[in-house]
Amino acid sequence: MVSGGLADERALEDFERHLERFLHAHANSGPLAQQIAHHFGAEVRRGKRLRPRLVLAAAASLGAQLEDALPACAAIELLHNYSLIHDDIEDGDRLRRGRETLWAKFGIAHGINAGDAVGALAYAALQETTRLDASVTQAMLGDLARAHVRMCEGQALDLAAEGAAQVTPTEYLEMIEGKTAALFACAASLGARCASLARAHEAEVERCAEFGRLFGLGFQIRDDVLGIWGPRESTGKSGSGDIARRKHTYPIVWAASHDAEGAGKIIARVYAKDGDAVAPADIEDIRGALERGGAREAAESAAADYFARATAHAAGSEPLRRFVDDWSAPAA
């Protein structure tokens, strides 16, 4: 059985070995293999692996066997990394986890192509769920495809928002429901489906998916706080953060609605200079105004509320409860 702990480190190491074997078997020659190896390179930090951890936590909560959960872990991590490769191109980020992004090293065309390949491999990974019934694998493929589309829809809204004068709280939530929460919801539903041999019911799949959705909303809002106030060692990215890209993140959206005459005015002035690089002084002005107007506190409070609601949906599941506890700490 999957460990009752938070996707404990032994289970996570089993996942890492499974993913490494899978990539070696499916992308092992030519330029594409070199590019994918650069992105996933074992010689650098692997990242938090939050989505596979959530698969494992949901699977553990319903009594799944570890071997039945590993293909789903690989699938969700591959789809996530497909999005990261494309996000880096769309945002112009040249660094991720402290090193060159795939497109920065190999060029935009190779970056798009490699990202597409990693996305396709996510579906191939689910075909290795050989112990589960074919109908379960089919349901998992449907979950993954829907999350894939929702993620692209959310990213489209995010990109469109970069050119908008203002984004409403409703529009913001619709955006992050797609670009972030959908994949966390999928991770939890896949984990629950891995327990089909333990007779997990559809209602439990839906409960786990809602847990993942709520966690994902809280995670994105907390990440928005890091995108403005987080140190470079936390984000692993270049540049001056989300303000430099004129992103409409939670603190920005909240300030426009609740502090229109304070931070809202400064944001409107700076964001209106479309095409110009955001000056460091302007970034500091916005940061300070957001702090004074209560936007950072409001964002942290909203994230905490979503995490609390996720915990309520854990319904006594220790692995899911510990997942929230371990990954919902306030942004530094």
Q: What percentage of the chain exceeds 90 in pLDDT?
A: 77
| Sequence-distant (≥ 6) Cβ neighbours of residue 6 within 8 angstroms | 53, 57, 319, 322, 323, 326
pLDDT of 139 higher than 50: yes
Query: With bands split at pLDDT 50, 70 and 90, how would you rate the model's confidence at 315?
Result: confident
pLDDT of 132 higher than 60: yes
* Between residues 330 and 85, the one the model is more confident about: 85
Cα 271 to the center of its chain, rounded Å: 26
Query: With bands split at pLDDT 50, 70 and 90, how would you rate the model's confidence at 142?
Result: very high
Query: With bands split at pLDDT 50, 70 and 90, how would you rate the model's confidence at 3?
Result: very low
Mean pLDDT of the chain: 91
Mean pLDDT over residues 205-223, rounded?
97
pLDDT of residue 68: 95
pLDDT of 96 higher than 90: no
Domains of the chain, earliest start first: 9-216+306-327 (1.10.600.10)
pLDDT of 240 higher than 60: no
**Whole-angstrom distance between the N-terminal and C-terminal Cα of the chain?**
35
On whether the CB atoms of residues 194 and 72 are closer than 8 A, the answer is yes
pLDDT of 167 higher than 90: yes
pLDDT of residue 316: 85
Phi, psi (deg, nearest 5) at residue 317 = -75, 115
pLDDT of 219 higher than 70: yes
On whether the CB atoms of residues 157 and 171 are closer than 8 A, the answer is yes
pLDDT of residue 231: 75
What's the pLDDT tens digit per position in 261-270? 999 999 999 9
Q: Where are the beta strands (DSSP E) in the chain?
A: 95-96, 99-100
d(CA 63, CA 1): 6
What's the pLDDT tens digit per position in 38-76? 999 864 446 789 999 999 999 999 999 999 999 999 999
Cα 179 to the center of its chain, rounded Å: 8
pLDDT of 323 higher than 90: yes
* Between residues 178 and 95, the one the model is more confident about: 178
Query: With bands split at pLDDT 50, 70 and 90, how would you rate the model's confidence at 193?
Result: very high
Query: With bands split at pLDDT 50, 70 and 90, how would you rate the model's confidence at 238?
Result: very low
pLDDT of residue 261: 94
Burial degree of 309 (CB within 10 A; 0-12, 13-18, 19+): middle
Query: With bands split at pLDDT 50, 70 and 90, how would you rate the model's confidence at 233?
Result: low
Query: With bands split at pLDDT 50, 70 and 90, how would you rate the model's confidence at 4?
Result: very low
Query: With bands split at pLDDT 50, 70 and 90, how would you rate the model's confidence at 141?
Result: very high
- Kindly report which listed range (8-22, 114-128, 170-184, 288-302) carries the lowest average pLDDT score: 8-22
Residue whose structure tokens are 């469109």? 160
d(CA 300, CA 294): 10
